[in-house]
């Protein structure tokens, strides 16, 4: 039951799915509960991914078969995921782009990242990130709509496992007075939390292995590790650690890299 409380708290924090009333009272809140809930971020990815999958399959069933169908499904599934998450991770990516885009000193970069206003780098990162996501999802769906829908769901899960590694490896560098994620990432995530997140990812790995084969799974996991390692190295070098925005940026970059990798592997299989 404690794990369920942690999961529901993660849903409450990382999405806009309502956890209110008596259910919220039962879940409760404390810094310790909030910190433990971070391990269930990939579990929230299942809710987001299943919604995206449902939108894609709904478009395939309800709309006529046309060349633009993958594009319509890609746009609508992206809109659906943005609505259910509130653009939580996309906002982090934009803030990181503002902070690190101008080669600012670490302290000044952290100040910029906490500014609610978007600068030029943030706008460019947000626009290009969403555009790239729609294009890559449309590419996957145009190759094979069933395989693309499955990948869309599983990538939402796997990409949310990447921030957990940064939470384990890097220290939190935001000022307590301005950080919204201090209770989540203020202390390094324990190995038990990392393993919990990996357990959430395991069904996605198994599903991809069974339906799409081991070469694709190996490629996705390898790319996920490399992207996460690079992002962690970059944050450590520029900021001396990570912030909540860094976790969101890592999830977004990892998600895009996994879509691209999947598209390349699927294209080779079809060819």
Alpha-carbon distance of 165 to 254, in angstroms, equals 12
In a domain, 33, yes or no: no
Q: Is 262 exposed, middle or buried (0-12, 13-18, 19+ CB in 10 A)?
A: buried
In a domain, 107, yes or no: yes
Q: At what angle do helices 214-239 and 106-114 cross, to 10 degrees?
A: 110
pLDDT computed for residue 178 by the predictor = 53
N- to C-terminal Cα separation, the chain: 48
In a domain, 238, yes or no: yes
In a domain, 13, yes or no: no
**Tokens standing for 77?**
């599934």
CA–CA distance from 137 to each of 38, 75, 147, 181, 262 (Å)?
27, 9, 11, 30, 10
pLDDT computed for residue 270 by the predictor = 63
Exposure string over 41-76, b if 16+ CB within 10 A, otherwise e:
bbbbbbbbbebbbebbeebbeeeeeeeebbbbbbbb
pLDDT computed for residue 161 by the predictor = 95
Structural domain boundaries enclosing 156: 40-170+189-270
Which of 132, 156, 147, 157 minimizes the C-alpha distance to 60?
Answer: 147
Q: Which residues pair with 242 in a beta bridge?
A: 172
pLDDT (tens place) for every residue of the chain, 271 residues total: 788 899 999 999 999 999 888 888 888 887 888 888 999 999 999 999 999 999 999 999 988 878 899 999 999 999 999 999 999 999 999 999 999 988 888 889 999 998 888 889 999 999 999 999 999 999 999 999 999 999 999 999 999 999 999 999 999 897 555 555 555 655 678 888 889 999 999 999 999 999 999 999 999 999 999 999 999 999 999 999 999 999 999 999 999 999 999 999 988 876 5
**Tokens standing for 109?**
């970069």
pLDDT computed for residue 101 by the predictor = 87
Which of 92, 115, 91, 113 minimizes the C-alpha distance to 102?
Answer: 113
In a domain, 226, yes or no: yes
Q: Is 191 exposed, middle or buried (0-12, 13-18, 19+ CB in 10 A)?
A: exposed
In a domain, 24, yes or no: no
pLDDT computed for residue 268 by the predictor = 81
Alpha-carbon distance of 43 to 34, in angstroms, equals 15
In a domain, 29, yes or no: no
In a domain, 113, yes or no: yes
Provide the number of structural domains found in the chain.
1
């Amino acid at each position: 039951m404690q794990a369920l409380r942690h999961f529901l708290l993660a849903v409450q924090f990382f999405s806009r799915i309502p956890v209110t009333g008596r259910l919220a009272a039962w879940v409760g809140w404390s810094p310790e509960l909030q910190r433990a809930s971070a391990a269930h971020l990939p579990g929230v990815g299942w809710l987001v991914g299943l919604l995206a999958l449902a939108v894609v399959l709904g478009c395939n069933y309800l709309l006529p078969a046309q060349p633009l169908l993958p594009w319509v499904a890609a746009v609508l599934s992206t809109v659906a995921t943005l609505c259910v998450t509130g653009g939580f991770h996309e906002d982090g990516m934009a803030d990181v782009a503002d902070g690190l885009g101008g080669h600012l000193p670490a302290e000044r970069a952290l100040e910029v990242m906490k500014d609610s206003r978007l600068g030029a780098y943030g706008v460019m990162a947000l626009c290009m990130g969403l555009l790239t996501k729609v294009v890559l999802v449309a590419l996957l769906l145009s190759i094979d709509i069933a395989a693309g829908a499955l990948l869309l769901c599983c990538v939402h899960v796997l990409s949310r496992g990447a921030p957990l590694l940064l939470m384990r490896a890097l220290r939190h560098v935001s000022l307590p007075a301005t950080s919204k994620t201090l209770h989540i990432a203020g202390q390094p995530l324990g190995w038990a939390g990392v393993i919990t997140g990996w357990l959430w990812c395991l069904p996605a790995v198994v599903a991809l292995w069974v339906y799409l084969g081991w070469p694709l799974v190996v490629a996705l996991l390898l790319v996920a590790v490399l992207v996460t390692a690079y992002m962690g190295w970059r944050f450590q070098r520029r900021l001396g650690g990570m912030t909540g925005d860094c976790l969101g940026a890592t999830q977004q970059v990892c998600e895009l890299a996994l879509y691209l990798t999947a598209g390349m592997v699927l294209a080779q299989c079809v060819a």
